[in-house]
Structure 1
Amino acid sequence: MPAPIPSPEEVASARRIQVWKEFIPLPLRFPLILFIIIVYMFSGGVYMSAVSEMSGSLSWITEDIMMAGYASMTGLTMAFPLLFRILFRFQPRSLLLFSAGVFIVSDYLCMVCDFLPLVVLLSFVSGFFKIVGTFVCWSNVQLKITPKRDFAVFFPFLFTFVLGSVQLANIVTGYSLYAFDWRAMHRITIGAFIVVFALVYFGMRRNYRQSPYIPFKGIDYLGGILWSLWLLCIVFICVYGDHYDWLDGEPIRVALLFAVVLLILCIQRAATIRHPYISLGAFSQHNMLFIFILFGCMTLMSATATSTQNVFTNSILGFDARHNADLNWGVLTGIAVGTGIFYLALTRWKWRVKSIVLAGFFSFLLYQVMLYFLIDASTEKYMLYLPLVFKGAGVSLVYTSLTYALTGSVTFVHYFEAMCVIGFIRTSFGAPLNSAILARLLKYASLENTATLGGEIDAMHPMAHSFMTLYSEFQRQILLVSLKEVYGYAVIVAIVILLAILASDYRWLIRPRRMWRLAQIWRVVHRQSKQLETTGE
């Protein structure tokens, strides 16, 4: 998707960021937009970093809170096909005011409400308007960042703030939990959005449009609802699967049936109406399958740094909310390093996108290997920072490079629909699916190690006189061995991914078209041999 080259007048206007009123000083306009973006990235309805505190306060199970958190990410994913239509229909000031009001109401209700379906719905709406608000802000400053609309310059800047803001939100959540309680983060977010509301109300121009007016017609609302319900069913299966014992539990079987029916309805609707919410052509765009698979591999590699690593830091090292929050500084540093490497590799060093993706997965491999050797009860907190820098660099390198590759592979007509499809695995059900896989693997490893190590304990054991001490140490050793085993499997998977990416240059050897050419050559040889036989006779 080649970026349109703006006119000199558009560039001059964009440098002034015309959405602000004249009394706002020019040097403050760009930082104020960035401040609004960071505040919007802090929103989300439910903060999954506070899952243990929320579950104890609301008498919810952990899966309930995770479901609400992933519903927010699903709402963010489903907003992509409508982003340009929303931007063309409404004014930036109206969009930001309305979305800020939505966040204030939804954050307050999520803080005081204990009715789970309402919290899930509010989280979904918050995720939807999070991407709408940030898209409005970024569209107003894109030409100031890169007058030529060069995505090699814009994407590193964009994802430094997007991915970095996620880590900052985790840090602030952890510090607020340590100092106050889980509701403190909601109060902070509500206060920040009140400041944003006042800033937009008094500082932005009325009746200002960044783009021509296009009415809100021809939108497949029913299709959007069906796709959203399908994603929520997949998320429900992944989140609650272990709680209900997967297919042995009736709720999982019902959710699976609903997911199959909804997917059939979505495909049937996309194939029969003129303007579907997600057209079938978006799924068949160039390189879509490879990018989708690589994003799935990225979420799998990232899952060990969230679910598995949290088990290690909480159960073995005994970290509280503040110390777990401190670890996010390492990931934040890695994100900044990764986006910087992407910028230099693409604009200065002239690397291929594939080489950058390879570097990103190599960073994941380094993280997995270092954590494998750090799984020990004597590990200090400072030892975890360097592996997390590699993890953050891997996320930013793979995330930025694959999104950049998508812009060059997809036509503009299908671009935002393709972003939504990629978002299925990138921001919706990818994380819960891979977390469920790792949790299942850890559970099986724990059961196997329990059976193996349990045979070594008898009345002759040196600690047999104290059963509680023996049992506690027994459980700790089982968990340590099981975590190391999971990280060992993650290392093997990372190596396989790297080898697959390296071997992709030779995929032409097995293309059907190449085999068809070989068949043609054989026909020619066969025909020539027959001619030689006839002439010989």
Structure 2
Amino acid sequence: MIGLLLTVALTVMITTHNFRFIKPLPFVSIDYLGCVLWSLVMIEFIWFFNYGEYYNWLNAPEMQAAAIMFILTLCLCIGRMLNIRHAYIAPEAWKYKRLWQLLVLFAFVEFMGSTPKVLQTAFTGGVLHFGTFTTNVLNFVEWTAALAGCLFCLVWIKVFKLKYTQLLTVGVASLAAYPVLMYLLIMPGLNIEALYLPVFMRSFGNAIFFTTLTIYLEEAMPFAHFFMGLTMAGIIRNGPIATLCSGLYSFALRHQIADNIGRGLPYDMTGIMSISIRQLYGYTCFVAIGVLIVFLLWDVQPVRSTLKKMPTWNFVGRMMKKKEKKVANS
């Protein structure tokens, strides 16, 4: 990851000119304390659900302290947001009608993406006994599927100029195909090649969903609040919801294995684990297919018939100059 990030930074340094259309402006209006508080909220939330299974959730004093700290920090974030002029996330940015729908959809994608972190890893490691080097082959499948999903979005929107909101239905269908295929494939002695298709479908659907939702977010919010909307989506995407779902899946898997052992099923530990993983994939199938049916019956209408244009940086620079003059005159 560090190598890839350095490659991106080097590419920017080589292929772009150090050109400024306006003079550098100091970051005087950024709420740094608000940034720290929102970051602490994310860290505390991630820590709670990441170590919940290890500490046996609220039975441990460490988890109780983490829950109290999360509530207090969140209250500080909300209070500061409502009582200062330039909040890190402005209160007006939370009032857009379609924003909460988008955040729910982002959470759904993270829920579907958390299944391989627990169930697929438990299946490949605990049932199939694949090593790390073997399972890394699936990462190349995910990478290929992500590129295919992005190119599919490009062709859908730019070449064929179809409704970009219908891409969400295609993404949901692809995401729903993953737990269905895994439910049908789970068995001891499965070849790793059989996992290529479900992994490809999941990563393909993720790429379509995240690309389309980001476009839809840009359509639903003006430029002034768009990056705040990205921050809200990032709060869901970059850790908290995925950690929440992974923690719940880990707890559900442990509970399901204990329940199957208690029922006295005539299987060894590998068979019981395989049955438990299949049961949880079955529950995930119900959720995914239910959401797919909702999308098929409810055609989400776009904000406008054509995509709006992002403002050019020259326009943004002129707007910033006008605001700077107003502040200087006042």
User: What TM-score comes out, normalization by structure 1 length?
Assistant: 0.53
Q: What does residue range 147-226 of structure 1 map to in structure 2 within 5 Å?
A: 196=10, 200=13, 208-209=19-20, 212-226=23-37
- Counterparts in 2 of 1:210 and 1:375: CA distance versus 1, 3 Å: farther
State the AA in 1 paired with 2:160. W
- Counterparts in 2 of 1:423 and 1:310: CA distance versus 1, 3 Å: same
**Cα deviation per residue 1:284-303 (whole Å; 9 max; x = unaligned)?**
22411011000111011111
Aligned to 1:283: 94
The secondary structure found in structure 1 opposite 2:199 is helix
* Counterpart selection for 1:399 from 191, 207, 210: 210
Residue 496 (1) aligns with residue 290 (2): yes
CA contact (8 A) 1:307 1:439 kept: yes
For residues 3 and 228 of structure 2, the distance between their equivalents in structure 1, rounded to whole angstroms, comes to 22
Aligned to 2:54: 243
For residues 58 and 205 of structure 2, the distance between their equivalents in structure 1, rounded to whole angstroms, comes to 35
Q: What does residue range 357-396 of structure 1 map to in structure 2 within 5 Å?
A: 357-396=168-207
Aligned to 1:483: 277
Aligned to 2:321: none
Residue 474 (1) aligns with residue 273 (2): no
The secondary structure found in structure 1 opposite 2:30 is coil
**Cα deviation per residue 1:156-215 (whole Å; 9 max; x = unaligned)?**
xxxxxxxxxxxxxxxxxxxxxxxxxxxxxxxxxxxxxxxx59x95xx6899643654211
Deviation at 1:386, TM superposition (A): 1.2
How many residues matched? 301
State the AA in 2 paired with 1:315. G
Task: Give the aligned CA root-mean-square deviation in angstroms.
Answer: 2.4
State the AA in 1 paired with 2:63. I
**Cα deviation per residue 1:73-114 (whole Å; 9 max; x = unaligned)?**
xxxxxxxxxxxxxxxxxxxxxxxxxxx6xxxxxxxxxxxxxx
Query: Which one has the bigger helix percentage?
Result: 1
The secondary structure found in structure 2 opposite 1:367 is helix
User: What TM-score comes out, normalization by structure 2 length?
Assistant: 0.85
For residues 256 and 111 of structure 2, the distance between their equivalents in structure 1, rounded to whole angstroms, comes to 18
For residues 315 and 349 of structure 1, the distance between their equivalents in structure 2, rounded to whole angstroms, comes to 45
**Cα deviation per residue 1:259-299 (whole Å; 9 max; x = unaligned)?**
11111111111111110111111222241101100011101
Unaligned runs of 5+ in 2: 302-330
Identity %: 27
For residues 292 and 504 of structure 1, the distance between their equivalents in structure 2, rounded to whole angstroms, comes to 18
CA contact (8 A) 2:165 2:300 kept: no
Aligned to 1:268: 79
For residues 184 and 282 of structure 2, the distance between their equivalents in structure 1, rounded to whole angstroms, comes to 10
* Counterpart selection for 1:439 from 250, 253, 271: 250
Deviation at 1:41, TM superposition (A): 7.1
For residues 278 and 436 of structure 1, the distance between their equivalents in structure 2, rounded to whole angstroms, comes to 28
Residue 451 (1) aligns with residue 262 (2): yes
For residues 243 and 4 of structure 2, the distance between their equivalents in structure 1, rounded to whole angstroms, comes to 20
For residues 137 and 209 of structure 2, the distance between their equivalents in structure 1, rounded to whole angstroms, comes to 24
For residues 419 and 479 of structure 1, the distance between their equivalents in structure 2, rounded to whole angstroms, comes to 39
* Counterpart selection for 1:232 from 39, 43, 55: 43
CA contact (8 A) 1:286 1:410 kept: no
For residues 243 and 283 of structure 1, the distance between their equivalents in structure 2, rounded to whole angstroms, comes to 35
- Counterparts in 2 of 1:205 and 1:298: CA distance versus 1, 3 Å: closer
For residues 255 and 409 of structure 1, the distance between their equivalents in structure 2, rounded to whole angstroms, comes to 35
* Counterpart selection for 1:349 from 160, 164, 173: 160
Aligned to 1:421: 232
Deviation at 1:359, TM superposition (A): 0.7
Instruction: Single out whichever of 359-368 and 203-212 deviates more from structure 2.
Output: 203-212
For residues 271 and 424 of structure 1, the distance between their equivalents in structure 2, rounded to whole angstroms, comes to 19
Unaligned runs of 5+ in 1: 1-38, 44-99, 101-132, 138-195, 457-472, 508-537
